[in-house]
């Protein structure tokens, strides 16, 4: 039995790769700086031995191959030992490509936003159609409760990330995947820590397009200028276009269109090649999810799933953990300080959501989708601008506008870096910034307490753990 050891194993991608490798029959061990749930729990339940930290002693397990995550850089003690001892090593994407994807029909989902959700939709459509696909997704789809599996057919759905592969391979991860079916959902500037500008990301997407065979399929939105520039650099594969919901039935010539959509995206008709193909009625909200659905339906059709079957599947789709996931929904009595003779016995209905949004476009689409769904009910957004791009202030000018659908927005910036959130939000009466989590929680609870009766929706947005704010906040609100 061959033994692989994974550095950075608690990341979503590497942890999923570990479970796939074990399912293939490999002995798998791994390490990370912080061995933390939920991935550590999944790995331990799978019987995978974990080491905490970068101690050289973990190499005493004598692995046949070391898979290096992109959290590892030169100067890392265990990596320096690997280089000094001339031990074999590779990147996660390269190992995945050689040992799992090489013989599969790969359906890849790329783009700045919506990769996890769209890949989850696509995997579920194929599963619903009886195609038993394999998949590796950067989240946990509620329809599967796992982030990765091998599957029992040639089809494999993968979230195709543009971030670099490893410190020794600065190509985007997705360059390794060689998809037959490629969704490019959207493209904006992100990952300012590794890409100097949008043109550099467009070049990586062009390299990805170069790997798709001429009997494959490219699926792109019809209204994306960055992706149009990517295709202008050269393509050798047929293209199907996705329409913009806002221009449907208004001269849209896209191959895939949405019609008769409800404002919150909870129901819509799907048309392909100007032929009605089915209706989706689901619990998800937002134009972004309608677009994601259209892309997934197009990719599924490419491998033989009729759109009508795909629409049936999506009507049963349960979304993904940390994508507007409801963590708690409860009644809270209106306190005496705000109770009047006309409001005695009235309570507040509070719903707390967890969402992964960490880019202005994602924040805006998430909040607008919720606003369309809840109408005039109050929305409180709590946001941690945690990504490297956000920390560098690249999207500073777009943040206030991105939150217009919220009634109040609370920001968390523990340490000022290249810019100050406090300076940005200071002139806006419904925006508040805190550098201590306890103070932020107290402020939100106080605001809720002093609001009159009615439903309140609290959306917590971060691409990290946000120091466990979700349940700390819920506990205090329930007091």
- Mean pLDDT in consecutive groups of 10 residues from the start of the chain, 479 residues: 94 91 95 78 85 95 96 96 98 97 97 92 97 92 88 96 94 97 93 88 97 97 95 96 67 88 92 96 90 97 98 92 86 62 65 87 89 92 81 75 93 76 80 92 90 86 86 90
What does DSSP assign to residue 409? E
CATH classification number, 100-314, choose in 3.40.1190.10, 2.60.120.260, 3.40.109.10, 3.20.20.150? 3.40.1190.10
Torsion sign, CA atoms 321, 323, 327, 331? negative
Q: Which CATH superfamily is domain 325-478 in?
A: Mur ligase, C-terminal domain (3.90.190.20)
Query: Residue 24 and residue 472: Cα distance in Å, rounded?
Result: 40
Query: Residue 300 and residue 90: Cα distance in Å, rounded?
Result: 32
CATH 3.90.190.20 in the chain is located at: 325-478
CB count in 10 Å sphere of residue 270 = 26
What does DSSP assign to residue 334? P
What is the model's pLDDT at position 335? 61
CATH 3.40.50.720 in the chain is located at: 3-91
What is the model's pLDDT at position 345? 55
CATH 3.40.1190.10 in the chain is located at: 100-314
Q: Which two tokens stand for residue 145?
A: 């409760």
What is the model's pLDDT at position 393? 65
What is the model's pLDDT at position 193? 81
What is the model's pLDDT at position 245? 58
Query: Residue 273 and residue 101: Cα distance in Å, rounded?
Result: 31
What is the model's pLDDT at position 415? 73
- C-alpha separations of 352 from 20, 126, 217, 255, 330 in Å: 33, 31, 40, 38, 9
What is the model's pLDDT at position 340? 44
CATH class (in words) of the domain with range 3-91? alpha beta
Partners of 157 in the β-ladder: 107, 135
What is the model's pLDDT at position 35? 75
Structure-token match 């999923």, residue found: 16
What is the model's pLDDT at position 389? 67
pTM for the structure as a whole: 0.86
CB 128, CB 309: distance < 8 Å: yes
């Amino acid at each position: 039995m061959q033994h692989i050891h994974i550095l950075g194993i608690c990341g979503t991608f590497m942890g999923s790769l570990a479970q796939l490798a074990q399912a293939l029959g490999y002995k798998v061990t791994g390490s990370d700086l912080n061995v933390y749930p939920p991935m550590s729990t999944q790995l331990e339940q799978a019987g995978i031995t974990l080491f905490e930290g970068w101690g050289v002693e973990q190499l005493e397990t004598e692995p046949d191959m070391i898979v290096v995550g992109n959290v590892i850089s030169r100067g890392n003690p265990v990596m320096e030992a690997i280089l000094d001892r001339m031990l074999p090593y590779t990147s996660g994407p390269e190992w995945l490509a050689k040992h799992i994807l090489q013989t599969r029909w790969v359906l890849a989902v790329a783009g700045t936003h919506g990769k996890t959700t769209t890949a989850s939709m696509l995997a579920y459509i194929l599963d619903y159609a009886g195609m038993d696909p394999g998949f590796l997704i950067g989240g946990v789809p509620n329809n599967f409760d796992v982030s990765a599996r091998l599957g029992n057919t040639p089809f494999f759905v993968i979230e195709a990330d543009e971030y670099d592969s490893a410190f020794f391979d600065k190509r985007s991860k997705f360059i390794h995947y060689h998809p037959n079916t490629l969704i490019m959902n959207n493209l904006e500037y992100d990952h300012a820590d590794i890409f100097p500008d949008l043109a550099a990301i467009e070049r990586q997407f062009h390299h990805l397009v170069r790997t798709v065979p001429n009997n494959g399929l490219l699926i792109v939105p019809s209204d994306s200028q960055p992706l149009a520039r990517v295709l202008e650099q050269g393509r050798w594969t047929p293209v199907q276009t996705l329409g913009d919901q806002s221009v449907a039935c208004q001269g849209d010539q896209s191959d895939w269109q949405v019609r008769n959509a409800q404002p919150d995206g909870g129901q819509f008709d799907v048309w392909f090649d100007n032929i009605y193909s089915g209706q989706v009625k689901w619990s998800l909200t937002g134009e972004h999810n309608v677009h994601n659905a259209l892309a997934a339906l197009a990719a599924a059709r490419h491998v033989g799933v009729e759109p009508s079957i795909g629409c049936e599947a999506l009507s049963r789709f349960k979304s993904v953990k940390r994508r507007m996931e409801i963590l708690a929904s409860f009644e809270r009595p209106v306190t005496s300080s705000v109770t009047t003779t006309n409001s005695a016995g009235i309570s507040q209905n509070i719903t707390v959501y967890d969402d992964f949004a960490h880019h202005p476009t994602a924040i805006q689409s998430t909040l607008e989708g919720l606003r369309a769904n809840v109408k005039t009910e109050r929305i409180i957004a709590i946001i941690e601008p945690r990504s490297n791009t956000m920390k560098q202030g690249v999207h500073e000018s777009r943040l206030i506008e991105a939150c217009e659908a919220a009634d109040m927005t609370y920001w968390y910036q523990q340490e000022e870096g290249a810019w100050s959130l406090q300076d940005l939000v200071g002139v806006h009466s419904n925006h508040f910034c805190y550098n201590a989590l306890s103070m932020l929680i107290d402020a939100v609870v106080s605001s809720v307490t002093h609001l009159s009766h009615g439903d309140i929706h609290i959306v917590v947005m971060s691409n990290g753990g946000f120091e466990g704010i979700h349940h700390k906040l819920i506990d205090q609100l329930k007091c």
